[in-house]
Amino acid sequence: MKRKGEEIGSQPIAAVVMPSSDDILSWDATQDMMQQLLETYDNHQTIEKRKEMIHGIESNIVSLKEAEEIIVTEGESIVSEISEKIQECSENSSQEEKNLKEQQKHIDNLEDEVNDIRDSIDEAKETEVELRRKIQHYKELANEKIEEMDEVELQKKEEVYRLQTQISLHAHVTGIKWDYEDIDSLKGEIDIPSKKVNKRFDIPKEDKSDFELVNNFWTMMEA
């Protein structure tokens, strides 16, 4: 710390025009001298302030450089972390893209299967319609056949009834009871009340004509 008056002593003495001892100083001259001294002192103060400002600026510049280095270091660290995150995200994105492609492929396969199933269903529906048409046609044919069979059965029943009536009448007239279980021969029982004859008969059909069989019957009845 400078002592009082040291600053003035350390500075060069300004050139001040001093009157000679013979001259008498006027008030104006004295004021001029004082003004010159004050200006010299003010200039010295301004220089010191400027030096202090420059020193402060230099200190600020150093601080700013240190702060800049810190910011750069932190920025590089942040950039490195961001790069790592970007790399990690890129790898994850690639894996997700791969998974999405596999899922899309699986979906495409499922869509193909669905389309195949739809085609099969359409074909099955067409087949079902055709089968229903055929079933209806066969039902109509079956109904016609059933009607024909019913008609034939009715005719057969009528024919059987007619034959039964004829056989019954024939049995009553001839007195013959036929045994229909044996188809290879004519078997039965004959009853002739007028002759009090009741006997069984068995006439083979083999190698005999209808005429011969009838003659055998008449011969048996007359015997």
Cα 36 from Cα 16, distance rounded (Å) = 7
| DSSP character string of 14-62 | P---PPPTTSPPPHHHHHHHHHHHHHHHHHHHHHHHHHHHHHHHHHHHH
At 1 the pLDDT is 42
Q: Where are the domains of the chain?
A: 175-206
Q: Please write the tens of the pLDDT for every residue from 73-126.
A: 888 899 888 888 888 888 888 888 889 999 999 999 999 999 999 999 999 999
Contacts of 198 (CB under 8 A, 6+ apart): 189, 190, 191, 192
At 169 the pLDDT is 78
The mean pLDDT values, 10 residues at a time, for the chain of 223 residues are: 43 44 56 65 63 75 84 89 88 88 92 92 92 92 91 87 78 74 78 74 78 78 66
| Dihedral Cα 9, 13, 14, 19, nearest 10 deg | 120
At 56 the pLDDT is 75
